[in-house]
Amino acid sequence: MVAVTVITLPATAQQKATTDSVTIRKIYDEALTSTESYENLRYLTKQIGARLSGSPQAAAAVEWSRQVMKEMDLDTVYLQEVMVPHWVRGDKEIGRVYNSKLMGTVDMNIAALGASVGTGRKGLSAEVVEVQNFEELEKLGKKKVKGKIVFFNRPFDNTHVQTGVAYGGAVDQRGGGPVAAAKLGAVGVLVRSMANEIQDVPHTGNTRYEDGVQKIPAAAISTKHAEQLSSLLKDDPELRFYMRMTSEMLPDVLSYNVIGELKGTEKPDEIILVGGHLDSWDLGEGAHDDGTGCMQAIEVLRLFTELDIKPKRTVRAVLFMNEENGLRGGTKYAEVAKANGEKHIAAIESDAGGFTPRGFGMEGSAAQLAKLKSWRPVLEPYGLADLGAGHGGADIGPLKGQGTVALIGYKPDSQRYFDYHHTEIDVFENVNRREMQLGAAAMASLVYLISENGI
């Protein structure tokens, strides 16, 4: 008898791609037929509501999301302590043009910017100077700015196809406007809302102060009323604007990042992070920003457990606290990861709304980008064709430099995001269930591919 040695050949690349395709199809089937992530979003937005850092609602969201993950039979669920700022808006803001030559007194929609000081209960009234940028402000000088309200009115450049690029080209006036104006003696600031459309809702967002510079009240004004105020100023440069805000900063509060994970079966020390930020602005319900991102991150873990997918590498969902007005959660997470010597190979962030998936953008090496692009054949059938270099995300950004971690941003269609961003209309009803489910499936598919193949 002749002994026969049986040699098991390794699976070919084609066989592996076929296996990946089959698993991804299962992920999409489950994601698109289960309403769990959408119902989780409903509870987060309707029962808990807006979740500004330091608020009772933020604390409730932490405990609720921890319980959701504890009921999923994960390997680990825990809270990570982080001290966060506690800013409160106070009374509904009042914005009003007084005694314009054309229209008399005109009410205008404003919203205090995050971290802004208040005006005092009597409010403040002053003449207005309009500028498009910091260069125009500097040219005016102290003589023309002192004692006035500076009105930053640079609109989005709507020639950009990606609305995030337009946002990036305008948002510096919101973040740095109050300090630049205060240095020239201004008593207040109005900033055109960060939006593509002309609409009647103000978009809040954080601003920054500097030590040694007078803190002056700062508010966003709706794009509709920014247009109207600009028009009125052309006919009456001496009109006065009244603004009343009772916002204030309170002492820091203890809060938490919420973390759940599935341990890898082969390389448990290699971590794939998927997450969003649990906090939101106090206007609206924080549905697109970033309730959808958090519920999609939880859904990634649910899809793995429901389909009995055993990840080769550890998959960790992180719901970060305080992205909106401090980034304390992302910073703390990175500090702890570094102190513990953790090895993150990839971090995926969903913080661009729950809209139709288009792809993923990566901050990584040429080899990592090439690997991401190599998965186009299995991802493109699901609309994920936009795979390449791009911004990872704010909360995962502090991980940069810790080894060779690839920072990956989930990219949904961007055209509607800034209709809702940081406004009272960012509510559950404006999230499409199927689009949100597709996003969760997209993220789970990429997590699966990285878990199987590395990056």
The predicted-structure confidence for 351-363, as pLDDT tens digits, reads as follows: 999 999 999 999 9
* Arithmetic mean of pLDDT over the chain: 95
In this structure, is the dihedral angle defined by the CA atoms of residues 260, 433, 23 and 18, taken in order, positive or negative? negative
Contact present, 275 and 294 (Cβ < 8 Å): yes
CA distances from 323 to 128, 278, 331, 334, 336 (A): 32, 8, 9, 13, 17
Confidence of residue 5 (pLDDT cuts 50, 70, 90): very low
- pLDDT for 151 equals 98
Q: What is the pLDDT of residues 207-258, one digit of tens each?
A: 999 999 999 999 999 999 999 999 999 999 999 999 999 999 999 999 999 9
Contact present, 200 and 426 (Cβ < 8 Å): no
Neighbours of 112 (CB within 10 A): 30
Token output for 373: 């692009």
- pLDDT for 3 equals 47
Residue 12: pLDDT above 80?
A: no
Confidence of residue 13 (pLDDT cuts 50, 70, 90): low
How, if at all, do strands 188-192 and 149-152 pair?
parallel
Determine the Cα–Cα distance for residues 335 and 143; give it in Å rounded to an integer: 46
Token output for 349: 């962030």
The arithmetic mean of pLDDT across residues 65-72, rounded, is 98
Contact present, 121 and 244 (Cβ < 8 Å): yes
Q: What is the pLDDT of residues 331-388, one digit of tens each?
A: 999 999 999 999 999 999 999 999 999 999 999 999 999 999 999 999 999 999 999 9
Show Cβ contacts of residue 53 under 8 Å, excluding neighbours closer than 6 positions: 84, 85, 86, 87, 253, 255, 279, 321, 322, 324, 325, 326, 328
Q: Which of 311, 279, 308 is nearest to 293 (CA)?
A: 279
Neighbours of 336 (CB within 10 A): 14
Neighbours of 141 (CB within 10 A): 11
Q: What is the pLDDT of residues 119-173, one digit of tens each?
A: 999 999 999 999 999 999 999 999 999 999 999 999 999 999 999 999 999 999 9
> What domains lie within the chain, and their CATH numbers?
13-87+251-453 (3.40.630.10), 91-246 (3.50.30.30)
Residue 394: pLDDT above 90?
A: yes
Q: What is the pLDDT of residues 79-131, one digit of tens each?
A: 999 999 999 999 999 999 986 666 679 999 999 999 999 999 999 999 999 99
**From the candidates 93, 130, 285, 323, which is the catalytic residue?**
323
- pLDDT for 10 equals 56
Residue 2: pLDDT above 50?
A: no
Q: What are phi and psi of 358, to 5 degrees?
A: -120, -25
Neighbours of 135 (CB within 10 A): 8
Contact present, 290 and 323 (Cβ < 8 Å): yes
- pLDDT for 1 equals 47
Determine the Cα–Cα distance for residues 293 and 277; give it in Å rounded to an integer: 7
Q: Which of 49, 50, 53 is nearest to 251 (CA)?
A: 53
Contact present, 283 and 113 (Cβ < 8 Å): no
- pLDDT for 18 equals 83
Give the DSSP letter of residue 114: B
Show Cβ contacts of residue 18 under 8 Å, excluding neighbours closer than 6 positions: none
Confidence of residue 4 (pLDDT cuts 50, 70, 90): very low
Give the DSSP letter of residue 428: G
Contact present, 232 and 95 (Cβ < 8 Å): no
Q: Is 323 a catalytic residue?
A: yes
With 0-12 CB in 10 A as exposed, 13-18 as middle and 19+ as buried, what is 32?
middle
Q: How many CA atoms lie within 13 A of 233 on its CB side?
A: 18
Q: What percent of the chain has pLDDT over 70?
A: 96
